[in-house]
Structure 1
Amino acid sequence: MNAPEIRGGTLTGLSLAGRDGTWDLTHQDGRIVALRPSPTTGGGFVMPRLADVHVHLDKTFTADRMPHRALSLFAAIEMMAADAATWTVDDLTRRAEAGLARAHAHGTALMRSHVDWHGKEPPPAWRVLSDLAGQWQGRVDLQLASLTPLDDLVENGTSVAPTVRDEGGVLGAFVYRNEDLGEKIGAVFDLAEKYGLDLDFHVDEGVEPEARGIDAIIAETARRSMAGHVLCGHGCALSVRDPEEVRRVLDRGAEAGIGLTVLPGANSYLQDGGPGRTPRLRGLAPLHEAGTAGIPVMIGSDNVRDGFYPYGDYDLWDVYRLAVLNGHLPHHDWLDAISAAPARWMGRDLGLREGAPASFIRFDASGPGDALSRTRAGREVWQNGRRLPEFQGDET
């Protein structure tokens, strides 16, 4: 397919995400000034830029340092902890900037990176990524979320939470089959209320049906009336719990107002692993059922080229392809999960409408199905009326 005809700031004959027919898009001074039905076709498929609500820039591009493939989540945690002891400011900066550059080139406008935080003081990665957030503002707007094991956060949260608040971050915890779960989840919500923080949990990241941290989080969200401020990532255990029980949990989650982030890459890679055997359980949270219940569902990149997942390139469109295939998603209906829904959760609007910034992605394809089917389909990223140059970064 040829590139769209451009005359006086108009792209013609576009297939536009969420709209039937074809459209002409006129932009001026960096903004969309007109969207009109088009008599032509063949201009490509256009969608809003992307919002990646769950990544780990502190760990990224360390896969080549790992001594072997991780066959479980906790094996990956152990290997990454050993590598983290060697991190320097220069190392962290180089790797994280490479991730941001790739995300920007692929069309990501917003990103939330979780940062491992043990103890009371901010880790070096928090400081590095805080600095990068300022440097990258306007290209990839970066939000940080602390990530602390639940027991540690209960112990050290009064030191962690003020820093997270002062730097505009999100408070996060890793929750997995903890003792005294309800009491400890309540303590995290106490911190959120005291310091005015949103919450983002890594929860039930395994395929044991006994993992029920999400139940406690939903109950506390409802009790505190914190709808729209509590995001749950992973939820792998929901894939192996009784379906009727899961339906009730999701209904309660929708009523409480939580969000759900599904991570098809690392979860599929780590769950039910073992040497010389094919995994049977993939750990994919119930996307269809959560969406039907009314829970906002988001899809994120999660780990990229590290001990948890040694693949990826901060290309959220490629992650979407993986989710469509693994989750049997109707590809037209779930585009919001990588754009509008996570953007709203991060307090932004990436929608394409008259008066909005002329920032979008144009694929050399007839629609999303065509773009997903052809991995080498051309892609242009536009920001404020300008087409970005193709990424020329070095390998990391």
Structure 2
Amino acid sequence: MDQQLPRPVTLLRDALLPDGRRVDVSVSAGTVTDVAPARTRTAPADAVLDLDGRLLLTAPAEPHAHLDKALSFDRIQPPLGDLGSAIEAWRDHATTMTVEDIADRARTQALAMLAAGTTAVRSHVDVLSGHGEASLHEATRGARALVQVRRELAGLVDIELVALAGPHVPDEHVEAVLDLGVDLVGGAPHLADDPDADVDRLLAVAARRGLGVDLHADENLDGPVTLDRYARTVRDWPRDRQYSAGHCVRLGTLSPARLDEVIADLVAADLGVIALPITNLYLQGWQHPVATPRGIAPLRALIDAGVRVAAGADNVRDPFNPVGRSDAFETASLLVSAGHLTPDEAWTLVTDGARSVMGLPVAGVAVGARADLVAVAATSLVDAVANAPAERTVIANGRVVAVTEVRRTVAAPLPATPLPAGLVS
């Protein structure tokens, strides 16, 4: 594509939809205004994107990222291991970071996600207080970096920020990070000496500030459960903000009766759950060398009960996950193989489900929906999830913001030759 990006478009011509239809999609002011049979609509040539039968999907949203940690694995060289060892490696490295270093990695990561089709990201950002000994200036390094990147990428990627406050972070530092424009209150109460008390502390901060909440919750295969206390506390809170929890792998090891109790609380509070398969599959189960249990939220039980469920990639190439492709198709594929979802369900969790828990407007190929879309060289949604085609065109708010084109050359097979007579049956 020769045109400079971003490029506004008013017509996406000849798109293939997952239901098999070939359509033209009209767009105005970033919103889908018409969906008609293919090649029946016209627009000025410079405002047309001819998809020529490529599969057009709702663009993914990433509901749980760590842009401040991303792409730090090679620099840190941490030992491979569980959650505790990852936290220790990150904490040691964090004392050496600058705002510029964090911003450079975060920007690179956000743009990689955009190129893969993700048009909205919710990123947690550590309140860098260590065990409370850091100054306010030191504690806010990550937040200052991510607020800067959010400003630079405005109009390309919608970025929400969550203040990730560990159990030892003083409220003063949390408040300072929120004062910078961070959007939600977060933390990891299951890591505290008194998990319930830390839930109460973080929710009190959110109540004072009138903010939504997105907690790391119960990121372990045994131990305390904090989700039900969280859900019961926010059940009657204002609905003009979002309440959600990431990880939630402890739910997958509860007895059926106990799981039903927690799920009932989640439904009553309309509290969203964010599954994070790649990082939890990596971090959980190291202490069980035989019949190793796998860490993933119980997706089928949550979906069937009516819980709002999303899924994300979480960490990418940092001490908490040394791999990851910054690609929602990778997350969707893992939801199929590790979470036993259908490809349709998996894609819904990284698109509609993610946008729901993030409080974003509906997107997709429907009149009135936001024109956040990704076109891929695939014949069906199953084909797309299975193969994650590299060739993509990304549309955010009605503008083409990323194009990846691929050229492939494969050697031809040898000409067929008859088998010797003795080998023919």
- What displacement does 1:356 show? 4.5
Q: Is 1:114 equivalent to 2:124 in the alignment?
A: yes
- What displacement does 1:161 show? 3.1
What is the aligned partner in structure 2 of residue 327 from structure 1? 339
- What displacement does 1:180 show? 3.9
Q: Is 1:164 equivalent to 2:175 in the alignment?
A: no
- What displacement does 1:336 show? 2.5
* Distance (whole Å) between structure 1 residues aligned to residue 228 and residue 327 of structure 2: 32
Query: Are 2:316 and 2:325, in contact at CA under 8 Å, matched by a contact in 1?
Result: yes
Q: Which protein shows a greater Rg? A: 2
Q: Is 1:100 equivalent to 2:114 in the alignment?
A: no
What is the aligned partner in structure 1 of residue 213 from structure 2? 199
Letter in 1 for 2:221: V
1:245-324 equivalences under 5 Å are 245-273=258-286, 277=289, 280-324=292-336
- What displacement does 1:346 show? 2.6
Alpha-carbon spacing, 1:76–1:13, altered in 2? closer, same or farther (3 Å): closer
- What displacement does 1:188 show? 2.2
Q: Is 1:134 equivalent to 2:125 in the alignment?
A: no
Structure 2 residue matching 1:238: 3-state secondary structure:
helix
What is the aligned partner in structure 1 of residue 96 from structure 2? 86
Moved more, 243-252 or 66-75: 66-75
* Distance (whole Å) between structure 2 residues aligned to residue 29 and residue 176 of structure 1: 44
Alpha-carbon spacing, 1:377–1:166, altered in 2? closer, same or farther (3 Å): closer
What is the aligned partner in structure 2 of residue 190 from structure 1? 204
Query: Are 1:177 and 1:213, in contact at CA under 8 Å, matched by a contact in 2?
Result: no
Query: Are 2:124 and 2:161, in contact at CA under 8 Å, matched by a contact in 1?
Result: yes
Alpha-carbon spacing, 1:242–1:31, altered in 2? closer, same or farther (3 Å): closer
1:142-161 equivalences under 5 Å are 142-150=159-167, 152-153=168-169, 156-161=170-175
Moved more, 58-67 or 258-267: 58-67
Alpha-carbon spacing, 1:82–1:108, altered in 2? closer, same or farther (3 Å): same
* Distance (whole Å) between structure 2 residues aligned to residue 177 and residue 211 of structure 1: 9
Query: Are 1:107 and 1:361, in contact at CA under 8 Å, matched by a contact in 2?
Result: yes
Letter in 2 for 1:192: A
Q: Is 1:229 equivalent to 2:229 in the alignment?
A: no
Q: Is 1:372 equivalent to 2:388 in the alignment?
A: no
- What displacement does 1:311 show? 0.7
Structure 2 residue matching 1:237: 3-state secondary structure:
helix
1:228-261 deviations in Å (ceiling 9; x for gaps)? 6321111111111112211221122111111101
1:161-219 deviations in Å (ceiling 9; x for gaps)? 364156141111112164443343223222211110111111111111x3211122122
* Distance (whole Å) between structure 2 residues aligned to residue 287 and residue 271 of structure 1: 17
1:8-57 deviations in Å (ceiling 9; x for gaps)? 934225124xx564433234676534202459998132111111010111
* Distance (whole Å) between structure 1 residues aligned to residue 265 and residue 11 of structure 2: 48
Moved more, 253-262 or 65-74: 65-74
* Distance (whole Å) between structure 2 residues aligned to residue 337 and residue 113 of structure 1: 17
- What displacement does 1:127 show? 0.2
* Distance (whole Å) between structure 1 residues aligned to residue 24 and residue 82 of structure 2: 49
> What's the TM-score, normalizing by structure 1?
0.87
Structure 1 residue matching 2:345: 3-state secondary structure:
coil
Structure 1 residue matching 2:161: 3-state secondary structure:
strand
Query: Are 2:143 and 2:180, in contact at CA under 8 Å, matched by a contact in 1?
Result: no
Letter in 2 for 1:11: R
> What's the TM-score, normalizing by structure 2?
0.81
Moved more, 381-390 or 191-200: 381-390
* Distance (whole Å) between structure 2 residues aligned to residue 212 and residue 369 of structure 1: 36
Q: Which runs of 5+ in 2 are unaligned?
A: 1-8, 41-50, 407-425
Q: What fraction of aligned residue pairs are identical, expressed as a percent?
A: 26
Alpha-carbon spacing, 1:183–1:373, altered in 2? closer, same or farther (3 Å): closer
- What displacement does 1:69 show? 3.2
Query: Are 1:207 and 1:236, in contact at CA under 8 Å, matched by a contact in 2?
Result: yes
Letter in 2 for 1:137: A
Count of residue pairs the alignment pairs up:
379
Structure 2 residue matching 1:87: 3-state secondary structure:
coil
* Distance (whole Å) between structure 1 residues aligned to residue 10 and residue 209 of structure 2: 50
Alpha-carbon spacing, 1:58–1:130, altered in 2? closer, same or farther (3 Å): same
Alpha-carbon spacing, 1:21–1:72, altered in 2? closer, same or farther (3 Å): same
Structure 2 residue matching 1:332: 3-state secondary structure:
helix
Moved more, 35-44 or 239-248: 35-44
Moved more, 246-255 or 375-384: 375-384
Moved more, 75-84 or 227-236: 227-236
Q: Which runs of 5+ in 1 are unaligned?
A: 1-6
Query: Are 1:108 and 1:316, in contact at CA under 8 Å, matched by a contact in 2?
Result: yes
Structure 1 residue matching 2:188: 3-state secondary structure:
strand
Q: Is 1:43 equivalent to 2:60 in the alignment?
A: no
- What displacement does 1:355 show? 4.9
Query: Are 1:162 and 1:195, in contact at CA under 8 Å, matched by a contact in 2?
Result: no
Query: Are 1:382 and 1:388, in contact at CA under 8 Å, matched by a contact in 2?
Result: yes
